[in-house]
């Protein structure tokens, strides 16, 4: 099966701020846009920042000793790209919700992960696997 790009629309409080973060810091090329929304190429997937200054409360779930924000979204990167992004986020002064680290070390599904928020408070998880075959591993 060929993996198809996903589409995700999410709320932002300010379009210019979203452009600076998603286009500038995250390095996502911009696609179509209008006054109240903008498309970004998120590693080959289409994400759309929609102006919606009101935000609902979010929940957290415990995972590997951390409080993981829900909802969140992200992408699985190659390990070198994940590390380069972590370095770029640190250089930009990004505050991490969960600092970059290796989760489930030595277990099935071992992965590098980090959580941070965009300027509108959307939670993002970026992860990488040394062995992509572990993506859905249970044993």
Confidence of residue 1 (pLDDT cuts 50, 70, 90): low
Predicted TM-score of the model (pTM) = 0.86
Query: What span, in angstroms and rounded, lies between the C-alpha atoms of 93 and 112?
Result: 20
Q: What's residue 3's pLDDT? A: 82
3-state secondary structure 8-22: EEEEECCHHHHHHHH
Is-cis flag, bond preceding 70, omega within 30?
Answer: no
Q: What's residue 53's pLDDT? A: 80
Structural domains of the chain, ranges and CATH numbers in brackets: 7-51 (3.10.180.10), 61-134 (3.10.180.10)
Q: What's residue 70's pLDDT? A: 86
What is the DSSP secondary-structure string of 120-137? T--EEEEEE-SSGGGTT-
Report whether pLDDT(72) > 70.
Answer: yes
Reported as a single tens digit per residue, the pLDDT across 21-59 is: 999 999 999 999 999 999 999 999 999 999 988 766 678
DSSP structural state of residue 91: H
| Letter string b/e over residues 72-110, b meaning 16 or more CB atoms within 10 A of that residue's CB | eebbbbeeeebeebbeebeeeebeebbebeebeeeeeee
Query: Cβ contacts of residue 7 below 8 Å, gap of 6+?
Result: 45, 46, 47, 48
Query: What span, in angstroms and rounded, lies between the C-alpha atoms of 58 and 126?
Result: 19
Reported as a single tens digit per residue, the pLDDT across 95-135 is: 999 999 999 999 999 999 999 999 999 999 999 999 998 88
Query: Cβ contacts of residue 54 below 8 Å, gap of 6+?
Result: 11
Three-state SS for 65?
Answer: coil
The C-alpha angle with vertex 17 and arms to 23 and 82, in degrees rounded to 5, equals 40
Query: What span, in angstroms and rounded, lies between the C-alpha atoms of 134 and 139?
Result: 9
């Amino acid at each position: 099966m060929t993996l198809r790009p996903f589409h995700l629309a999410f709320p932002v409080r300010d379009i210019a701020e979203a452009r600076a973060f998603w286009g500038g810091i995250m390095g996502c090329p911009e696609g179509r846009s209008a006054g109240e929304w903008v498309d970004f190429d998120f590693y080959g997937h289409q994400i759309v920042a929609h102006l919606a200054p009101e935000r609902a409360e979010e929940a957290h779930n415990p995972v590997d000793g951390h409080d993981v924000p829900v909802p969140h979204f992200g992408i699985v990167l190659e390990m070198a790209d994940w590390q380069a992004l972590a370095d770029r986020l640190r250089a930009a002064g990004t505050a991490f919700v969960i600092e970059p680290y290796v989760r489930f070390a030595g277990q099935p599904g071992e992965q590098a992960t980090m959580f941070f928020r965009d300027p509108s408070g959307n939670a993002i998880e970026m992860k990488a696997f040394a062995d992509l075959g572990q993506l859905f591993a249970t044993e």
